[in-house]
Structure 1
Amino acid sequence: MSLDEKFIPVQTAFYQLISNSFKKVAQLLGYPENPGMPTIYDLSTESHVRSKFFDNLPVHRTFWPPIQRPETWFEMIFGPSPKVESVPRYIYENKEEGFYNFYIENYKNLYFLPDWLSEFVQVRLHICLDITFLETIREVLFVGLMVYSQMVILRIALSWFIYINPYTFPWCYIAAAVDWTEDVLQGIVPSILGVNITGSVFLGILGVLADSLNHLVFTMPFLPSEGESTKLLINQQMKDVLVFHYLPTLWYRYPIPNEIREFWYNERPDILDYMQKAYRDLEIQFLPQNIIEEFNNQKLRVDLSQLYNSLILTKNYITDDLSLDILVNRNFLEEKDFFTCINIINEHFHRILLN
């Protein structure tokens, strides 16, 4: 008989002793009739419902290193370059909602620009429909973070090779680019068993920043707060989506960019016709600036022409009336001097102006 088998009765007796002691204490508290504390029912507040909704959302997953799909000889030899795995935007058009609608799949880990920053980019920087520049900036930042993380990894590897002096050429450039992070984090991140882990912590920070760029969504020409949560049938599956549709708020608060209005007028008159009919009560200017100026000039010319014609008619009326009055009073004028005639003409004009 082994030593473990000899201790089995002792083990069983100890378990029974502990079990009986717990039961006796529980009987003092009303066991088994006492069911214990009542359960907490689900709260029906709006915040609780919203938090439960977010908990049920899926997660936008990314992969690092990226999936191996080489497209060139360089990628086949050295591996694929890092690329942003952004959330796709699905653009659609219909007669009810307009031409600039899109939706994205709703995930738990999506990031958006603040409304004030999105408004600044669209209104001040004039980046409204074409977001290629923003996408390029994001890709450059993503690749830059990935390249810098590889430099950090190389710097950590150099510290483990005692026969390599990292402050000699060419390693000194890598040390100069990375060692400042240790100066910043050395007093914050403690060492573990005498090992400096600031490099690993900084790598984690770089990874979080780079991965957040994968989940960043640009909502131009809408503000991020204009997204509406709903469900759509996508690939025979009901999915939670965020829909951006109808007229963007910034196109109501501020004038629509002139290049967009020129595009509507010259190339897409169907969009211009829809905008003018659907939002005619909002007093929004949908025509381009040059057309508005030409229309104002034509209207000004018409108004000046009408004013000129009215002045001509008034002049003829005044002269005809004056000549008739002078003819009637010819005999009287012949008997008076020059100043008397001037007074008669002055009274005549004054009477016409009063009428």
Structure 2
Amino acid sequence: MSLDEKFVSVRTAFYDIVGNFFKGIAGFFGYPLNPGMPTMSDIPSDQYARSRFLDSLPTHRTSWPPVQRPETWFEMIFGPTPKVEVVPRYIYESKEEGFYNFYIENYKNIYFLPDWLSEFIQVKLHICLDLTVLETIREVFFVGLMVYSQIVILRIALSWFIYINPYTVPWCYIAAAVDWTEDVLQGIVPAILGVNITGSVFLGILGIVADSLNHLVFTMPFLPSEGEETKLLLNEQMKNVLVFHYLPVLWYRYPIPNDIRQFWYNERPDILEYMEKAYQNLDIQFLPDEIVSQLNKEQLTSSVPILDMLPTELLSKNDFIDTNIVLTKLHSLGEYLTTFLVQ
């Protein structure tokens, strides 16, 4: 008989004593008749299905530090510069859906601008199709965060070298750029074993903000809420995507930007023809403003002789005035005035 087998009875007795002790304590609270804390109410089936769907989506993964693929001599010596790894937009055209459709792969960690902010950028700032300005702002902001994170790392490293006074030139500039974060976080983030970790916490916050820029998607000329969830076969794999297609809702609520309409009229008449045919029942102006103004002037000029026709013909008949001619001209004049006022 082994030593473990000799103590089996002792072990069992100890387990029974401890179990009876806890059962006795639980007996004060109604055990075993007390079922415990109330269970959570049933989650609605639609919300449960939605949460399961979001959990099943893949994650848009980014890499930091970036993959070492130097393209210039500078990058070969000092390493590649940080670049935003955006979610790609796949633009497509079709006869049914139009010319400004695109789709993106649906991820669980992608972000969009609020509808009101996207509408403000498109309507007030006139940034609709050309997203170069927004992409540049995001790139500059991302690189700025990466550069500032390196300054924070350098400041943390300086604090460990006691023979370097961080408040002397040139180190004082680094301290001035970073030490304000300690004033903000000092009362929130506690020290661990006497070590100040505010710099490390702030560095993590910078990383989260910078990484979120990789997952930010611009949906112009559509609003983010116009995306439709569906599935497409991509690279022989069925994937969940968000599709933005047909007519953007802002082009119905507000006039289409005139530069876009000029582009259609001068360089892409096929787009103009499609828009006028597909959305002819909507009160939308697809022609450029100058073309519409020119057509209105030509229509007004061509209708002026109708007004001059009545007195000219009446004066030419000095000897006799036919009442039928007078009534006919007055009727034509009334029809013209009615049409002109309605326009």
Q: Report the TM-score, using the length of structure 1 for normalisation.
A: 0.81
Please list the CA deviations of residues 72-112 of structure 1 after superposition, one character each: whole Å capped at 9, or x if unmatched.
22212221110000000000010000000000001111111
State the secondary structure of the residue aligned to 1:86. Answer: coil
Matched pairs, number: 319
Equivalent-residue separation in structure 2 for 1:5 and 1:245 (angstroms): 74
Structure whose alpha-carbon radius of gyration is higher: 1
Q: Which residue number in structure 2 is paired with residue 216 of structure 1?
A: 216
**5+ residue gaps in structure 1?**
31-35, 325-352
**Partner in structure 2 of residue 101 of structure 1:** 101
Name the CA distance, whole Å, in 2 between partners of 1:314 and 1:201. Answer: 94
Show the counterpart of 2:340.
none
Is residue 189 from structure 1 mapped to residue 189 from structure 2 by the alignment?
yes
Deviations 1:265-320 (A, max 9, x none): 11111111100000000021111111111111111110112222234224445x55
Partner of 1:335: none
Structure 2 segments unaligned to the other structure (5+ residues): 323-329, 331-343
User: Deviation per CA, 1:14-51, whole angstroms, max 9, x where unpaired?
Assistant: 4577689999x9xx969xxxxx99x9997443333222
Q: Which stretch of the first structure deviates more once superposed, 236-245 or 14-23? A: 14-23
| Alignment correspondent of 1:119 | 119
Secondary structure at 1:281's aligned position in 2? coil
Matched, 1:57 2:46: no
In 2, distance between residues paired with 1:130 and 1:48?
39
- Specify whether residues 250 and 169 from structure 1 end up closer, same or farther in structure 2 by C-alpha distance, changes over 3 A only: same
Instruction: Give the Cα separation in 2 of the matches to 1:200 and 1:112.
Output: 28
Task: Report the Cα offset of residue 194 of structure 1.
Answer: 1.5
What code does the residue aligned with 1:239 have? K
In the superposition, the TM-score normalised over structure 2's length comes to 0.84
Displacement of 1:221 after TM fit?
0.3
With over 3 angstroms needed to count, the CA separation of the structure-2 counterparts of 1:11 and 1:167, relative to structure 1, is: same
* Equivalent position SS for 1:150: helix
Whole-angstrom distance in 1 between the partners of 2:50 and 2:274: 36
What is the CA–CA distance in structure 2 between the aligned matches of 1:247 and 1:49, rounded to whole Å? Answer: 30
Give the corresponding residue for 1:330.
none
Provide Cα deviations, 1:315-342, integer angstroms capped at 9, x if missing partner.
445x5548x9xxxxxxxxxxxxxxxxxx
Distance 1:160 1:7, change over 3 A: farther
Note if 1:137 corresponds to 2:137: yes
SS in 1 for 2:233: strand
- CA distance in 2: counterparts of 1:105 and 1:306, whole angstroms: 61
Structure 1 Cα separation of the partners of residues 185 and 41 of structure 2: 46
Identity of aligned residues (%): 74
Report the Cα distance in structure 2 between the residues aligned to 1:101 and 1:203, rounded to whole angstroms. 39
CA RMSD in angstroms, aligned pairs only: 3.2
Match of 2:289 in 1: 289
CA distance 1:140–1:2, change in 2 (3 Å): farther
Q: Distance in 2 between matches of 1:14 and 1:294?
A: 100
